[in-house]
Amino acid sequence: MFIHSRFVIVDDKETHLDGIKKSLDFLRLDCHSKLYSDETVADWQKLPGMRILFLDQNLITGATFGGETKVAFAALADVVFKLVCPESGPYGLILWAEQPDLEALKDSFFERFTGEDAQLLPVFFTSLRKGDYINTNTGEIVDAQKLQVDIQDRISQSPQLNALLSWEADVSAAMDAVLRSVVNLIPDDDRASDNFGPELGKVFYRLSQAGAGIERATESPREAINRVLVPILADRIIEHDPSSGNNFDWQTALVDPTESPSVPAQASVNSAIHLSFARSEGSAPIKATDLGAVVQIPDNDVSGFLAGQFGLTEAEFLAEIFKVNEEEWKDCRARMVQIGAPCDFAQPKPGPLLYLFAVEWPFANSDGCKNQGADPKRNLSVDTKRKPKDLEWQSPILQFEDGLNAGRISIFKNLAISITRKDAEESLTPLYRFRDEIISQITHSYSRHISRTGIVTLPER
């Protein structure tokens, strides 16, 4: 419910810790401070939401960068292991040091933090001198304003982190504006009384009605209110005034890669945009009845499903509709995708849900290229000849599962079935969900397919 501190300070000297904390308090910047010792660090917990980590260079007495560097580096690395929460996003590391050796520290960190641990690394390393801001003997504030200016200067040295923090600040300002607009719906006369809470509750009820329908306000109020507030939040973020003076030049954060993105890179970006796996801590689980839900075939009986629902044998489906060979089919996974109008999902009416038959087909090679004759029978690739026909919608390059090659998903507009909500909830297993933009495209493609017109005419010679 509460937003975590963005600044974290770690020091082995209590006077220094208090002095920096008082300086940040003076600047109205919330921070979390940790007094380092060999005995207490083992019990530390991860700190979500951290954006700047201040670390004293010499956390262990006698272990300095100029002397026992391995011990000094190990202490700093232990702090990162203990405190950094990779799910919380990027952060920068600011080292308190009179004579910093950032290159040696970076080399040590890059050597130690490998594989999945690389997610714990900061976006940038920099240093500051405590004595410029506090009295290192007493901890008294010397120049808090200079501390703020120097922090901003160090952050600006990493335009990419600067861009992300600027965007986060825009989101926070937009969030405040949305909350303010909701509370402003309460008349002033009702604020100076015990009616404030109940009146706000009435506003929530109306918002829930707007998102779910007059009779459905209490069924799932969080989802319903989100349908109303999230578009407003997005608009508030977009309408940030670039000429307000509080603006970051995003051009400085861009680095032209010059070369075309690799297939894994395309899959990663496309999947982040279009797929939701609801893996984050606190995420609501995906339901088989959610709009855009991609679900397993019941009992994984693809042959029985094709025959029972569509009157097709597996061989007929491969030869006449999907057009892949049996060897390529072994790498594919049959799915169903729940489609429909967003308003029907937001304000559901009685009746079954519509699902389209689909197939995930990962590429034969991780780079998306053909096998160059090595195995011509298993040759699904980026430039495969199986282009989508009128009956098939084909996705961008996506990553469906860790450890598998990237690929695409094909959805067949002529293979639709209706399933009741109850049966869907009881018999279907959701895997992931298409986000709104792409499921709207799929639904629109399906609606054009079933509403296409034709005329009877005498063929021309």
Instruction: Name residues whose C-beta falls within 8 Å of residue 380's C-beta, 6 or more positions apart in sequence.
Output: 324, 328, 331, 361, 362, 363, 364, 386, 407
Q: Encoding tokens for residue 324?
A: 């892949």
| 383 is a domain residue | yes
Same domain, 379 and 424: yes
Residue 371 — pLDDT band, cuts 50, 70, 90?
low
Q: What is the pLDDT of residue 457?
A: 83
Same domain, 138 and 205: no
Q: What is the pLDDT of residue 101?
A: 83
| 287 is a domain residue | yes
Q: Are 297 and 336 in contact (CB under 8 A)?
A: yes
| 344 is a domain residue | yes
Same domain, 179 and 291: no
Q: What is the pLDDT of residue 387?
A: 63
Q: How far is CA 166 from CA 163, 234, 238, 320, in A?
A: 5, 15, 13, 52
Residue 398 — pLDDT band, cuts 50, 70, 90?
very high
Single pTM value for the model: 0.79
Residue 88 DSSP code: G
Same domain, 184 and 153: no
Q: What is the pLDDT of residue 47?
A: 92
Tens digits of per-residue pLDDT, 6-46?
999 999 999 999 999 999 999 999 999 999 988 888 889 99
Q: What is the pLDDT of residue 246?
A: 61
Q: What is the pLDDT of residue 384?
A: 67
Residue 29 DSSP code: -
Nearest to 124 by CA among 109, 145, 144, 146: 109
Same domain, 187 and 153: no
Residue 318 DSSP code: I
Q: Is the pLDDT of residue 187 over 90?
A: no
Residue where one domain finishes, among candidates 104, 139, 157: 157
| 71 is a domain residue | yes
Q: How far is CA 93 from CA 105, 147, 159, in A?
A: 11, 15, 15
| 1 is a domain residue | no
Q: Is the pLDDT of residue 428 over 90?
A: yes
Same domain, 51 and 148: yes
Residue where one domain finishes, among candidates 229, 251, 273: 251
Residue 77 — pLDDT band, cuts 50, 70, 90?
very high
Q: Which domain holds residue 288?
A: 263-450
| 129 is a domain residue | yes
Residue where one domain finishes, among candidates 140, 157, 174: 157
Q: Encoding tokens for residue 245?
A: 């003076």
Question: Which residue type does 354 have?
Answer: L
Domain of residue 144, CATH code: 3.40.50.2300
**Helix axes 144-156 and 159-183, enclosed angle (nearest 10):** 110
Distance CA(98)–CA(47), nearest Å, equals 27
Same domain, 294 and 175: no
Same domain, 242 and 299: no
Evaluated on CA atoms 314, 320, 325, 330, the torsion sign reads negative
The SS3 call for residue 18 is helix
| 257 is a domain residue | no
Q: What is the pLDDT of residue 127?
A: 93
Q: What is the pLDDT of residue 282?
A: 73
Q: What is the pLDDT of residue 2?
A: 75
Same domain, 199 and 222: yes
Same domain, 337 and 383: yes
Q: Is the pLDDT of residue 229 over 90?
A: yes
Classify each residue of 270-301 as buried b or exposed e, where b means 16 or more C-beta atoms within 10 Å of its C-beta.
bbeebbbeeeeeeeeebbbbbbbbbbbbbeee
Q: How far is CA 13 from the centre of its chain?
A: 38
Tens digits of per-residue pLDDT, 287-313?
999 999 999 999 999 999 999 999 999
Tens digits of per-residue pLDDT, 102-155?
888 999 999 999 999 999 999 999 999 999 999 999 999 999 999 999 999 999
| 391 is a domain residue | yes
Nearest to 179 by CA among 32, 300, 41, 3: 3
Domain count, the chain: 3
Residue 415 host element (H or E): strand 407-419
Q: What is the pLDDT of residue 183?
A: 93
Distance CA(308)–CA(302), nearest Å, equals 10
Same domain, 85 and 178: no
Q: Please list the residues that pair with 417 across neighbouring strands.
A: 355
Same domain, 137 and 45: yes
